[in-house]
Structure 1
């Protein structure tokens, strides 16, 4: 988008699209993460990007709605169409609830940029919806300005962005790394030399650096023709039903991305063009910037067509129907790829979290776990499997103290369930441990279920453990021993109430 840009923002639009109200605590979630919430939910402590379990813990009365992008697009098209007919003739949808347009022409028509954003807000209010608007040199800056309802002076994007934290640049891995390096504001990042940024942070860091400096994120390619990347599907005869069109939309989106990938290009914008059987042509521009998958494109286009159908934009009569559907990419630039080596071997932490949440939604919360080290007396207590997204229990700190904790060397493997075992002396009688930790006899042979019997070649211990001594029913008194056998095995044995068990195995 050349020159100045104006952006209109409708706060909490996903909540509005699902029928929620500010007085009701509502959260719209996508892949178990909150993407929008009502004012009442925020008052209860719910925030965007919060995990669903945490949000429900903050606000027990929270009503959870799964995000439906097609519903949002269908609801937002009413706003986009109204603004297109009353305020400015050509605009682009960044996402439902956020749209942008060139500011030069409309501001001249309405008498200045301040009057333009006032007219935008008033036009949205005519639909009974709240809105804010902002103007800046670049769309990114204008979108932030819209949240505050301000106008950024000409040439002042970089200075206006400077106080913001680096997280607003939209690259979580980069923001985390910059904060560790002590670079916490957009202005500090913008002051870094461009060549050093490119060498250290790669293509993704360079795009964010250009944004921080108030420049075009991606330099436009000299190739102005988009014909080789444009994709079209023609319906013969014209199609009146949306179901067959939906299949064509997904195929077109896949074809578009394949062509862009083959050409090594990224489209900043995507124009959807619908040719009707009566000769009319409808179009809508959407922001792309290489971030939309083919599925995301298909969902947006389908929501757009559903909105046009419900508002009878297509019209009636015998000539009604879609004759052709076209996806035309605009503002092409070279696809520089993504630099992820600094933020993970293959995926960023955010991508890993989304993938884990997706699996948990299908298989259950405890289906995806991570290993955490912690405190405990037994080897199995020191490594725990914690469901992904849960907070580690701070009461089991590895620092202890843990009286009776087993000394090194630590076993190579612990058994999910202890195996029955026997520890005998030279005459075959069971070895016992007294209350004063004295052995009844020297161990001579060890038997573990599934491993057979072997002569004992060495042993250490016993080490006592007295847990919850104040609890008559829940208390536990045991002793552990390390035993090596002639067959090459080494065991961690535990005796409890006169019976021996194999708790773990050493290498």
Structure 2
């Protein structure tokens, strides 16, 4: 069995927190955490000492550490600020590949021989990164990307051929690395009693495939200290490279974002037509002043079109915002598949299904609309969490990540019960709600009606009789001293009958508005 390539990994612990602190000017000695979807995705060492952990809710993290500084997750920021670190490593060693912001790998053999051994190379790179960027990092050396990454997490140099023994006592949880989707596999392995990589590695490949499928087989190779995929990968045909001349020269990040989407779509479609997917992406650019820029991104999983676009965008943000940024705008951009694998299993759909011809045509049409009218001209919807219908539907520009910022399954006190209105107004429509005596409907301190609603008057219409109603429901979980806000659903008489969602605000006097209309 041939060993995987021997790699050196340079890892910056808690990089999302460090990058956020650098961007916001927050000192590194203060406790800080990065939040995504209302949960901690990264935190500083001092925050961990105070009890903050990845995965806890924001409110719980702040309760454990009241002085915690909270940052929003921003992958573009992380990548942009990581570029100087990759450049510092590249000054000493050729072949630098960015795995994700916070981690780069380089081949060891040539550089170690030149600098006097692996230990000397690691020490030299530590000094190089610290002197040029002021950022602390850890270095590990092992066979293969997976082993080198875990070695960097522990600041160790694993002897050649001993990566399997190094991995054996580690928890199977380390299989769930960034850019992978192995959470379910890790949970299943734990339930089956396979809690270490060594225990998982003892299974035969046939048993792993029959029980865990392709995902399990790839993870099993990693647990055994092998490459995730066999070393004999297909050499990409030269025509799969995609390039574009840029006129006028590209020197703005917003223009780079739009370019990344269109070019990544062409690049991914060309690979898919040959049954391939990219695992190492080369990004090459030339400026109007003759400068040549290049960076290779190495990925644990084959890249989707969105993944390619993200890396192109991140790289341009790094180049354009670096201290030693290019002196001219980019006039030429080229994407090259440095390494490919069979991509049939990666044909993800436009809307989570299989990538059909109709899906591809729809995607191209949306990109065409954006090219004519701008990136903010085509949207898709994401269902978020929230109390009201307007809060739950969020529009995302086509091509951007459709990430949930507030999980719908969370507990939302005061959430409007089903069904939700079919039409929600961007601006609430004023209304008048009166009781049988013609007085404006108001609420008691116990949040009940003084008198039930009898008539509703909408703009430019005659008053309508209330046939039925439901509620009231508090918009906020607490009723303030000066009043509060409630929602009610009402069915109005007329031809045709009309069901609406009304919101009432009660302070000095009742004020009603129409928030939505039901079909």
Task: Tell me, yes or no, whether TM beats 0.5.
Answer: yes
CA 1:2–1:215 in structure 2 vs 1: closer, same or farther (change >3 Å)?
Answer: closer
Q: 1:388 aligns with which of 392, 405, 409?
A: 409
Distance in 1 between residues matched to 2:295 and 2:57, nearest whole Å: 34
> How many angstroms does 1:117 deviate by?
1.0
Aligned to 1:94: 99
1:154 equivalent among 149, 154, 160: 160
Q: Please say if residues 233 and 339 of structure 2, whose CA atoms lie closer than 8 Å, have aligned partners that are also in contact.
A: no
Partners in 2 of 1:12 and 1:235 — Cα distance? 36
| Cα pair distance change 1:24/1:184, threshold 3 Å | same
Structure 1 residues 225 and 4, CA gap change in structure 2 (3 angstroms): same
> CA offsets per residue over residues 275-316 of structure 1, 9 Å max, x none?
223443210011224355434433433332233233465643
Match of 2:14 among 7, 12, 15: 12
User: Is residue 2:82 matched to residue 1:76?
Assistant: yes
The 2-side partners of 1:88 and 1:44 are apart by: 38
Q: Aligned partners of 1:15, 1:298: CA distance in 2, in Å?
A: 24
Q: Displacement of 1:167 after TM fit?
A: 1.3
1:308 corresponds to 2:319: yes
Q: Distance in 2 between matches of 1:197 and 1:32?
A: 36
Q: Tell me what 1:175 maps to.
A: 186
Distance 2:124 2:90 in 1: 12
Superposed, 1:210-221 pairs within 5 Å as: 210-221=221-232
Unaligned residue ranges in structure 1 (runs of 5+): 340-344, 347-356, 369-385, 392-416, 418-448, 451-507
Alignment of 1:116-131 (within 5 A): 116-126=121-131, 127-131=133-137
Quick one: distance in 2 between partners of 1:261 and 1:73? 27
TM-score, length-scaled by structure 1: 0.64
Aligned to 1:184: 195
Distance 1:60 1:304 in 2: 36
Aligned length: 360
In the alignment, which residue of structure 2 is the partner of 1:360? Answer: 385
Deviations 1:420-470 (A, max 9, x none): xxxxxxxxxxxxxxxxxxxxxxxxxxxxx99xxxxxxxxxxxxxxxxxxxx
Q: Per the alignment, do residues 313 and 22 of structure 1 end up closer, same or farther by CA in structure 2, a change over 3 Å counting?
A: closer
Match of 1:48 among 48, 51, 54: 54
Secondary structure at the aligned position of 2:295 is classed as strand
Match of 2:294 among 277, 283, 291: 283
Q: Which of 246, 259, 280 is the aligned partner of 1:248? A: 259
What are structure 2's unaligned runs of at least 5 residues? 177-181, 354-381, 394-406, 413-447, 449-466, 469-519
* Structure 2 residue 352 is the aligned partner of structure 1 residue 331: no
- Aligned: 1:27 with 2:53: no
Aligned CA distance change for structure 1 residues 60 and 118 (closer, same or farther; 3 Å): same
Greater CA radius of gyration, 1 or 2?
1
TM-fit CA distance, 1:228: 3.7
Deviations 1:366-388 (A, max 9, x none): 969xxxxxxxxxxxxxxxxx973
Work out whether residues 250 and 298 of structure 1, in 8 Å CA contact, stay in contact via their aligned partners in 2. Answer: yes
Name the CA shift for 1:129/1:358 in 2 (closer, same or farther; >3 Å): farther
Residue 237 of structure 1, CA deviation: 4.5
Match of 1:36 in 2: 42
Instruction: Confirm whether residue 266 of structure 1 aligns to residue 272 of structure 2.
Output: no
- Supply the distance in 2 between the matched residues of 1:223 and 1:266 (Cα, whole angstroms): 10
Superimposed CA distance per residue, residues 117-138 of structure 1 (whole angstroms, 9 cap, x where no aligned partner): 1111111111221111010011
- 1:321 maps to which residue? 329
Q: TM-score, normalised by structure 2?
A: 0.63
Q: Secondary structure at the match of 1:360?
A: coil
Correspondence 1:107 to 2:112: yes
Are the equivalent residues in 2 in contact too, given 1:27–1:38 (CA < 8 A)? yes
Map 1:337-376 → 2, pairs under 5 A: 337=345, 359-360=384-385
- Contact 1:28–1:65 at 8 Å: present in 2 too? yes
Contact 2:8 2:140 in 1 (8 A): yes
Q: Is the 8 A contact 1:238 1:323 kept in 2?
A: yes
Cα deviation for residue 176 of structure 1 reads: 1.0
Counterpart of 1:203 in structure 2 is 214
CA distance in 2, matches of 1:162, 1:181: 17
SS at match of 1:184: coil
Residue 71 (structure 2) aligns with: 65
Task: Spell out, residue by residue over 1:479-499, the C-alpha distance to the aligned partner (whole angstroms, 9 max, x if none).
Answer: xxxxxxxxxxxxxxxxxxxxx
Summarize the alignment of residues 493-504 of structure 1 with structure 2, pairs less than 5 Å apart: none
Q: Distance in 2 between matches of 1:281 and 1:77?
A: 15
Q: Tell me the secondary structure at the aligned position of residue 30 of structure 2.
A: coil
Corresponding position of 1:487 = none
TM-superposed CA distance for 1:253, in Å, is: 1.6
